[in-house]
Structure formats: C-alpha cells, structure tokens
Amino acid sequence: MPMLADSKAVDDYIEKVDETHQAFLKQIREVIKSSLPDTVEGLAWSMPSYWQNTYLIHFQAFKKHVNVYVGLEAVIYLQDNYPELSYTKRGFQLVYGQKIPKKAIEDVCQWQLQQYGEKDET
C-alpha cells in the first residue's frame, strides 16, 4: 500500500529536532527531494520517508547524528563507491556539522530508483 503524501508531517518532524540540527536535516531533505522529485514524501516508522512503488530512503534524527536508511543492498553498493561514509547494517550515519555527502545521497537515491522505484509500463 502506498504511503500517503504528508510533507507537513516532515516539516513538523524537523521542527521538533534540536534547533541547532534543523538546518542539517533540511539539507538532507532537499538533496533527497531534488534527487527523487517524483517520490511521495511523508512519515513512515515515525521518520521522513520517500516512496515510489516502495520505500526508497528514510532519515532519522538522533541526539548526535542522523541515520539514513537505504537497505542492505544499497549499503553494499555505497560501500564500494563511498568508503569514507560510516555504515550501519541498513544505511549510513551522518554526524551533525559534517559536510553533507551530497553526491553519495544523490547517487544512492538514483540507484534505489533504478532498482525499486520505476514502474514497468509494459
């Protein structure tokens, strides 16, 4: 079942995070939205999520970092191309204040879209 679009819920999510970290989350959000303009944005599992035929990417704020969730296969893909990122089993972590790895996020968004998001029109 598709996720319901709810950009306001994502706005609210970001507003509830410590003020010093909101700009960091907004930057991550903008990179994802510009990389996946046709996805549905909303909350799933209480975190900002992006849907196109399936969930493609999520991010979750913690006290000292943000987890970006993309799934195990995408992590394997990313590790080969972006060894400098700090990986978890299903994504990667970004520490507040570090430079946003825009190219890596754009790349994994496109990879996810090619793997899972595009509809077969035949």
- Count of domains observed in the chain: 1
Is residue 122 assigned to a domain?
A: no
Give the CA diameter of the chain.
48
pLDDT over 90 percentage in the chain:
89
Is residue 111 assigned to a domain?
A: yes
Radius of gyration of the chain (CA): 14
Q: What is the pLDDT of residue 5?
A: 83
Average pLDDT (7-27) is 97
Q: What is the pLDDT of residue 2?
A: 64
- How far is Cα 98 from Cα 51, in angstroms, rounded to an integer? 27
3-class SS of residue 21 = helix
Is residue 2 assigned to a domain?
A: no
- How far is Cα 106 from Cα 35, in angstroms, rounded to an integer? 6
Average pLDDT, the chain: 93
CATH of residue 36's domain is: 3.90.1150.200
